[in-house]
Amino acid sequence: MSTTTPAPSPDAQTLWRLIVQAGGMKAYIDGQLRERGFLVTRRDADAMSDREKDTYKKALKQEAEERRKLRRETWGAYRANHIVHLGEGVFWTDEPKEDKWDTPNSEERAAENELPALDKAEQLAEALGVTIPQLKGMAYHRDAATSLHYVRFTIPKRDGTERPIWAPKKRLKAAQRWILHHIVERLPVHGAAQGFLVGRSILSNALVHENPKILLKMDIKEFFPTVTVKRVKGVFRRAGYRDGISTLLAQICTEAPREIVNVEGKTYYVSLGPRCLPQGAPTSPAITNALCLRLDRRLAGLAKRYGWRYTRYADDLTFSLPMDHKGPPKLGSMLGCARRIVESEGFEVKTEKTRVHRSGGRQSVTGLVVNGDSSPRTPRKLRRQLRSALHKLKTGKPLKDGESLARLTGYAAFVYMTNPDLGRKLLADLQGFEGKPEGPAV
């Protein structure tokens, strides 16, 4: 029987390196048993005396007990350096092997887009500056969670309802920003996409539709919630990543819609459906741009066929017929075909928000007026509102309910985008009231 004192356990990362160097978990355990004097040489018990049998059994028992301890240690090291499981309903394997769903020439495609080489979870964790357990925590899914990596709040919508926003916490937000800048922003997008891209804006979106004869506007219903984790994973797989890394990236960029439930004083966040793109994550808009490449290509082709123009700003689809267009507008064909294309791409048109604006009335695109020979501009009503508010500030009168210096400054910046001279003057006038009381609202 050995009296060797067990060596102190190394940290999980160092231990796993030792296991790899030994040739695997079994080889490491056998080596440690031999080194510590617990490994028993197997013998024929039939040829032993009773005393020898008793001693032999005790040695085997000690070996088995020590083997169990070593198995727990090695398994703990494995778990600390590998992602074993990602939660309910999530298929996970960290084997970087090829499968039939891999994009053909995936490595070449990733290299063409100048994407970072990521084959293993360890590489992704290192790139994000986190440990494997932290990476697993950000990607893990629970149908009923007691805590989340998001903070929930709401903002008002135009129709008076509230839009839930799930803002990622610090560590997850940093990881999403890395994925955004190093992967998603490098994926190809269609020229018709105008939102959340460098050099494109609501102004560039409106400029495409200057002075239209007919303006057709459509909205996609539940745009972000429709982009589920499976679709997000497909984006990363088409980019050139294999199943394991694509699963991790998709899990980090999605979260399930949840209901907050209190049970016996404890708060649970209960999943209401599959994980999807959260409104509030920095990656969500850019992922939709990459995902909608084929949608934009098909809708742009449809518009070109009938002589129309097309852009998409997030979930807002805009089609316009130029004023100099000759021949029938084929509005009905445009409307029907566009809806069918949207539906075939896995989305749904919000019928109640589909609008047709003709040249006789005001036509606006992403908040800017586009009809007439003038360039896109802010509505006259907004400019009048700003001048009226400035007059009240100068004369010491109270602002209207809902008006504040911060909101007025935002409106002035909006004006500046299309009319720099007027916007600059409005911003300068508003700056003169910073730090002064705005007066009670009426």
Residues 288 and 269 in one domain: no
Q: Which of 152, 117, 437, 432 is nearest to 278 (CA)?
A: 152
In a domain, 155, yes or no: yes
Mean local confidence (pLDDT), 55-62? 93
Residues 270 and 366 in one domain: no
In a domain, 364, yes or no: yes
Residue 145 CB partners (closer than 8 Å, separation 6+)? 258, 268, 269, 271
Mean local confidence (pLDDT), 104-121? 85
Please give the tally of structural domains in the chain.
Answer: 4
Share of the chain above pLDDT 70, in %: 95
301-333 per-position pLDDT tens digit: 999 999 999 999 999 999 999 999 999 999 999
pLDDT band at 211 (very low <50, low <70, confident <90, very high): very high
In a domain, 409, yes or no: yes
Per-residue three-class SS string for 361-394? CCCEECCEECCCCCCCECCHHHHHHHHHHHHHHH
Residues 162 and 201 in one domain: no
Residues 324 and 400 in one domain: no
Residues 133 and 260 in one domain: yes
Query: 48, 65, 81 — which closes off a domain?
Result: 81
Residues 216 and 302 in one domain: yes
- Say whether pLDDT at 363 is over 90: yes
Query: 328, 344, 375 — which closes off a domain?
Result: 375
pTM: 0.84
Pairwise CA distance, residues 370 & 379, whole Å: 10
Q: Are 276 and 256 in contact (CB under 8 A)?
A: yes
Residues 411 and 269 in one domain: no
Helix axes 420-431, 380-395, angle to 10 degrees: 20
Query: 81, 114, 131 — which closes off a domain?
Result: 81
Contacts 24+ apart (CB under 8 A), 22-29: 25/71, 25/74, 25/75, 25/78, 28/70, 28/74, 29/67, 29/70, 29/71, 29/74
Residues 207 and 300 in one domain: yes
In a domain, 97, yes or no: no
Mean local confidence (pLDDT), 137-165? 87
In a domain, 239, yes or no: yes
Which pLDDT does position 112 carry in this prediction? 82
Which pLDDT does position 118 carry in this prediction? 93
In a domain, 89, yes or no: no
In a domain, 307, yes or no: yes
Mean local confidence (pLDDT), 191-220? 96
In a domain, 147, yes or no: yes
Residues 368 and 389 in one domain: no
Residues 217 and 321 in one domain: yes
- Say whether pLDDT at 79 is over 90: no
Residues 314 and 388 in one domain: no
- Say whether pLDDT at 11 is over 90: no
Mean local confidence (pLDDT), 114-138? 94
145 lies in which domain range?
106-186+228-276
- Say whether pLDDT at 273 is over 80: yes
Residues 330 and 263 in one domain: no
Which of 24-33, 77-86, 129-138 comes out lowest in average pLDDT?
A: 77-86
| CATH classification of the domain holding 366 | 3.30.70.270
For residue 407, give the H/E element and its range. Answer: helix 405-418
Pairwise CA distance, residues 152 & 163, whole Å: 10
Pairwise CA distance, residues 365 & 363, whole Å: 7
